[in-house]
Structure 1
Amino acid sequence: MENQSLDLKKLQESIFVKKEEGTEVNYFLYPEFEVHRNSLPSGVIQEWHAHTQVEEVIACTRGSFIVETIENQKLISTCVEQGDVVRVRNSVHRLRNDEENSAEFIVFRFLPDGEEKQEQIKRDKRTYTDEQVQLLLSNKE
């Protein structure tokens, strides 16, 4: 039975790219955002880059890595460890792995529209009792 409520994308359905510098990326593309699963091997340094419209939020899921940014003519290095989340905004940045093991992280890419949505996000949850769920399952109203 097909589940029309969920849009599950299996790893093997992603677009896999091994970049020249060594980063391995699985791209999951959606109409309004992207999710990238990345592996940054030991010793790899990504290229410097920036985004003019796209925002990236990076969640470290294994290991650690350094995010380097250029701000006010200075190089700033920030260590991101497992469990940390970093928003790189529109900075000129790159990622670097100085550790012995690979680092893994998820990148969420989206186009912000400048609207405050925190209250809407916070309140956008409807809970159901077991009785309500049973009604849904029995197709009765």
Structure 2
Amino acid sequence: MISRAADGKEAVKPDGTAVRYHLFPEYEIHWNELPDGVTQQWHHHDTIEETVYVVAGRMLLHWREDGQERTEELGAGDVARLGTAPHTWENRSGDPVRFIVFKLVLDGVDKREIFRNDKQLD
């Protein structure tokens, strides 16, 4: 199955962030472009786990963990697994930041061995 760019649902949030959503039966992937000077509203999910992969640019990730607010700068190639923690991201870099968000509803089963060993050559 191929989901083309045109198949995704596009939106521009009130803060100017451009998003393209691709929703599948067991997960969602969305591409984001966060303009310079924008901070997304704090949010969290009760069931959905979010993982962010930065494609281009730099942004600050803020999240709350163990009663404390934490901040890390992320750049191209960095991955942040947020779980269900409250979080936001902020762009103070002077350029747009492009990143992909993976939204998953996980079952708690460790599947790393499957990912490592499931490829079969034909």
Range of TM-score over shorter length: over 0.9
- Number of the residue aligned with 1:59: 53
Q: State which structure, 1 or 2, has the greater radius of gyration over its C-alpha atoms.
A: 1
- Number of the residue aligned with 2:117: 123
| 1:68-102: CA deviation from partner (whole Å, max 9, x where unpaired) | 01234432111110011110111110010011000
Q: Distance in 1 between matches of 2:107 and 2:46?
A: 13
Q: Is 1:75 aligned with 2:33?
A: no
| 1:17-61: CA deviation from partner (whole Å, max 9, x where unpaired) | 101112110001100111100000000100000111101111100
Q: Distance in 2 between matches of 1:64 and 1:76?
A: 17
Q: Distance in 2 between matches of 1:57 and 1:72?
A: 19
Residue range with higher mean Cα deviation, 119-128 or 55-64: 119-128
Q: Which consecutive unaligned segments of at least 5 residues does structure 1 have?
A: 1-6, 129-141
Secondary structure class of the residue paired with 1:9: coil
- Number of the residue aligned with 2:43: 49
More strand per residue: 2
- Number of the residue aligned with 1:13: 7
Q: Percent identity?
A: 32
1:88 is matched by which residue type in structure 2? L
| 1:114-133: CA deviation from partner (whole Å, max 9, x where unpaired) | 111111121110012xxxxx
TM-score by length of 2: 0.95
- Number of the residue aligned with 1:135: none
Q: Whose RCO is larger (CA < 8 A, sep 6+)?
A: 2
TM-score by length of 1: 0.83
1:27 is matched by which residue type in structure 2? Y
- Number of the residue aligned with 2:80: 86
- Number of the residue aligned with 1:40: 34
Q: Which consecutive unaligned segments of at least 5 residues does structure 2 have?
A: none
